[in-house]
Structure 1
Amino acid sequence: MIAEKIKSQLRTGVLEYCVMQILRRGEVYASDIIDELLEEDLIKVEGIIYPLLMRLKQENLVQYEWNEAQNGLPKKHYQLTESGQNTIKALDETWIEINKSAKRIKKKTDEELKTAKETNKEN
């Protein structure tokens, strides 16, 4: 279905933004990012996050350090770089603008559809 394709594209863009928002809070493990995204139903499988984190690292938006976990095994501890902090601030402004515009357009559409429906009932 075309709707599924569009929903997938929307989720992809939002996913990167949400991962960076989670990282904005401070140092996090990938498992914590995955848990939150699963809880919010933004992902269905966890494997999508690791390539995203690696791409963000290659773009110098994210860095990581190895830390020993409670079970003694090393885990990567991710955080935004200074460039990542600046990028997420810029994305916040864009997110707010896009969200406002989309809401206004939807509201106008809903109002016009309601008016058209009422007009049809009268005829």
Structure 2
Amino acid sequence: MSKKEIDLKENLAKIYAKAVLRGIILSLVLLVVMSAVSYLTKLDEGYMSTITWVIAVISISYAAIYGTLRIGKKGFLHGALIGAIYVVLMFLFSFLADKGELDVRGFIIKLMMAIVVGALAGMIGMVIKGSD
């Protein structure tokens, strides 16, 4: 095993944490922007769930691409894992904020979406990097 592979294994958790944190920060920024736009334009409430899904997809894509560019191989796998970690953390945050309200069906749907979007974004990251 080369030194680069050993360093990568040691830093994998750090790269995952940075990628997920960047995705969460992007989500928060986009949600603040969405809230301001919604307040100023009196946007219809019916669009809010669609907009939050789009924000989640953008954030997961960004996190997965960032992570796979840093890791440099197996983009689909690392992207899917980063997406899954993102959704699990967001689910935990929302579970704690809602004081115990649990929507298992919604969580499973979001988890499947995150895995698929993360895997696709991870593959895009590998294409951008020019690796396999």
**Per chain length, whose mean CA-contact separation is higher, i.e. which structure has more relative contact order (CA < 8 Å, sep 6+)?**
2
Q: Structure 1 length normalisation: TM-score? A: 0.38
Q: Structure 2 length normalisation: TM-score? A: 0.36
The structure with the greater share of residues assigned to helix is: 2
The structure with the greater share of residues assigned to strand is: 1
